[in-house]
Chain A
Amino acid sequence: MIIQAQNVSYIYSEGGPFEKGALKDVSMTVESGAFIGIIGHTGSGKSTLVQHFNGLLRPTGGKVIVCGADTLDKKADLKTVRAKVGLVFQYPEHQLFAETVYKDIAFAPGNMGFSADETDAAVRESAALVGLSETLFEKSPFELSGGQKRRAAIAGVLAMRPQVLVLDEPTAGLDPRGREDILSQIKRLHAETGMTVILVSHGMEDIANCVDYLYVMDHGTIAMQGTPAEVYSRYERLEQMGLTAPQVTRLMKQRYGVDVCTVEQAKDYILGVLRRA
């Protein structure tokens, strides 16, 4: 496994007047090459959890092992951990800052001590991975469209050549076409590179089409886990937690009693039933 959380708890401002428990006894194992999803409503602890995956936060109870290193271990090299686990925050385009797209993407590898040639190769590769044309390299990142900005920001993280890519709400605020573009790029990236991908979202339909395994967070704990079909089939429980299952999941469960999470699967099932009849 590449990331392991063992009985992790996290309390913000521990001992202070604004003390707030954000994670309670969370255990999770992420295998190398997996594509997993984490869903939960705002405040459920999902962003707090993923910030543990590259040592940005360290557990106040339990421990997190990332690529063999215990993030609590004083001797652990967190710089290496952060290079291995690339974290793309919400609205990552707010973090673009360099004069050109190229320089922005090249910032992290430069800082990590890549040689000029290595950096150049990393920039070109990661831009290609997110489908960003090299003709944009000399533009200011602020001249790009919303979807392009977001891809440039993701490329900036990929350029570190991480083993794990964590994306926190990568489609927030995008329109349907922008959403589909980003998600298909992420899927392709996972398929082509075999990189471990962790997708955090509250877009249920988005996540159903991508991930192999899903964790549902509620009040700082893992409330459910399983394949998307397994998780979504318990939509009543999801709704209690302020989440909604995709329309087709509800339809197929109520009509045929089967667990389905995409339109494609629903169509195939219904056609099967009708053709047998």
Chain B
Amino acid sequence: MIKTENLTFKYHSEQTEDILKDINIGVADGEFVAVLGHNGSGKSTLAKHFNAILLPKGGSVAVGGIDTRDEHRLYDIRRMVGMVFQNPDNQIVATIVEEDVAFAPENLGVPSPEIRRLVDWALETVGMSDYKRHAPHLLSGGQKQRIAIAGVLAMKPKCIVLDEPTAMLDPIGRREVVATLKRLNKEEGITIVLITHNMDEATVADRVIVMNDGGVVMDAPPRQVFSDVERIKSYGLDVPQVTELMYALRREGIDVPADVLTVEEAMEALSEVSH
């Protein structure tokens, strides 16, 4: 779906250091990938290369086989990869939910009956059909973010890239958005790239890419990434609390597994050690 080869980037030619340094990653069709990194690690800059908002200064990015520097194919790239940003208030343009969701297909010149079908499907998929005639500004943060996702879905993208979509949401909003992403991935087969610094969200991904200082420093399934507690912390990131607890116990010489991510797994690990 997405492939970068020796990708480097900086905003101004006078900048001495590259913001992205020699990045080689691939995202396969239908994969759910989380990109983790602290503020300033380059993760948002990387994400903006995935639908040609930014173009590489060195190396290349290919989306669905198309080089993002090919200007003639820009529309194809943007239809294939939709972006959702952090602040839902900055992404909603219409005063009625369904009109907002219809914005992209209208612009793409999709015929009306087809737009109707797309909008209904998109709202259904994010679980917001009941709100189609509501005013977006009266919805909660999580609901607004799901509307923003529906707006992208209505373009029928193959891949959605989300840049910290839950950073401004409360726990319910976070759960709603993450559950929606999981469903889009499993049921609709949409490739998901989730940029986040929330560890619990990253655990639902198939694979976690950790960025630090403009480079990719880890690229593995969540269980493997988070079990390396010291390394994750050295990048200014956190691990789930139970993973940290297991790490603390191991340091005290207690024989528990390092790759525990959930409360249920921790229960099991602890029941084995005390017998």
Chain B residues near A204: list those with CB within 8 A.
Answer: 171
Given contacts A242-B171, A243-B171, contact A271 B40 (CB under 8 A): no
Chain A residues near B236: list those with CB within 8 A.
Answer: 175-177
Q: Is the CB–CB distance between B140 and A42 below 8 Å?
A: yes
Q: Is the CB–CB distance between A247 and B242 below 8 Å?
A: yes
Q: Is the CB–CB distance between B38 and A177 below 8 Å?
A: yes
Chain A residues near B238: list those with CB within 8 A.
Answer: 176
Any B CB within 8 A of the CB of A202: yes
Given contacts A175-B236, A202-B171, contact A274 B254 (CB under 8 A): yes
Contact residues of A between 234 and 252, Cβ < 8 Å to B: 242-244, 246-248, 250-251
Q: Is the CB–CB distance between B38 and A176 below 8 Å?
A: yes
Which stretch (A126-134, A215-223, A262-270) binds chain B?
A262-270
Q: Mark B223-265, 1 if CB is under 8 A from A, else 0.
A: 0000000000000111011101100110010100000001100
CA distance A250 to B263 in the complex (A): 7
Contact size class for B? 35 or more
CA distance A176 to B252 in the complex (A): 25
Q: Is the CB–CB distance between A176 and B197 below 8 Å?
A: yes
Any B CB within 8 A of the CB of A230: no
Given contacts A145-B39, A248-B245, A271-B249, contact A255 B172 (CB under 8 A): no
B237, B248, B273: which has the most chain A beta carbons within 10 Å? Answer: B248
Interface size on A, residues (CB 8 A): 35
Given contacts A176-B38, A248-B245, A251-B266, contact A273 B274 (CB under 8 A): yes
Chain A residues near B244: list those with CB within 8 A.
Answer: 263
Chain A residues near B267: list those with CB within 8 A.
Answer: 251, 254-255
Given contacts A175-B236, A176-B237, A263-B248, contact A242 B170 (CB under 8 A): yes
Chain B residues near A174: list those with CB within 8 A.
Answer: 39
Q: B46 CB to closest chain A CB, in angstroms?
A: 16
Any A CB within 8 A of the CB of B271: yes
Chain A residues at the B interface, C-beta cutoff of 8 Å: 41-43, 145-147, 172-178, 202, 204-205, 242-244, 246-248, 250-251, 254-255, 263-264, 266-267, 270-271, 273-274, 277
Q: 13 more A-B contacts (CB under 8 A) besides A42-B173, A267-B245?
A: A41-B171, A42-B172, A145-B40, A175-B197, A176-B236, A177-B38, A202-B170, A247-B241, A247-B262, A251-B263, A251-B270, A255-B267, A270-B249
28 residue pairs bridging A and B, Cβ less than 8 Å apart: A42-B140, A42-B169, A42-B170, A43-B140, A145-B39, A146-B39, A173-B167, A173-B168, A175-B197, A242-B171, A242-B172, A243-B171, A247-B240, A248-B245, A251-B242, A251-B267, A255-B266, A255-B267, A255-B271, A263-B245, A264-B248, A267-B248, A267-B249, A267-B252, A270-B249, A271-B249, A271-B254, A274-B254
